[in-house]
Structure 1
Amino acid sequence: RRRMYLHPIEEGFYLSDEPGFYREGAFGIRIESDLVVQPAETRYAWGTRPFLGFRYCTPVPFCHALIDVSLLTPAQRAWVDAHHARCREEVTAGLLRHAARGGGAVGDAEIKADVERSLAWLEAATKPL
């Protein structure tokens, strides 16, 4: 089989992860996320070569209604919960920065209401599985 990639993944690379599932004639779903390659802390070492991992650059929670929790291992559930916690932390910080800048022509009251609605949605969307 011919190699698809000619260069190994290195720290600092930016790429997209797009796993999907399609049932012919029925439906399909794809999760698209942007990732950056970074050093990973692991329990074991492999010589002097460091292990690499990925950091999600797109802080978007996964839809709870589309997750069959019974199919996940405890480690997978913990990973989704940690992803949701990061999403909640990063997006909350951005929303609060937006609110602090004020509304300008839109108006501070409208911005505050939008931020409050967004925070309520975010809290529900990122609750632990």
Structure 2
Amino acid sequence: MKAIHNLGKEARHDIIEIMLENRSRKALADELGLTPTAVIKFSRGMTHPSDDTILKIMEIANGKERQKILKIMLNELVSSLIEIINEYPDIKDEKLDELRKILDELENREVMKSITSIM
């Protein structure tokens, strides 16, 4: 998954911290098939979890954890897009237009949800 591959070191650390909120380092290591030492190194920022480890985390995360992790992933993507657009403000690309359409569609869905919840 490209979104995972593009995660920075800080985001990967934050994901580990989310997973350690409700389990011990040993329990997380067992769930991930890693040594407790590896998880300790992740939590101290000495090393960072691989793409495969993050994918495994997504598999074992509960609903709340998954939502927090997805928020981190989206923040990384949005930050990257903002950086590109700020660096190259005159960029014109069909993918940006496609992204605008997707965002408009998501916004429309949210509006419809709030309208139907009022009714």
Q: Report the TM-score, using the length of structure 2 for normalisation.
A: 0.35
User: Between Structure 1 and Structure 2, which shows a larger proportion of strand residues?
Assistant: 1
Query: Bigger radius of gyration, 1 or 2?
Result: 1
User: Between Structure 1 and Structure 2, which shows a larger proportion of helix residues?
Assistant: 2
Higher relative contact order, chain-length normalized (CA < 8 Å, sep 6+):
2
Q: Report the TM-score, using the length of structure 1 for normalisation.
A: 0.33
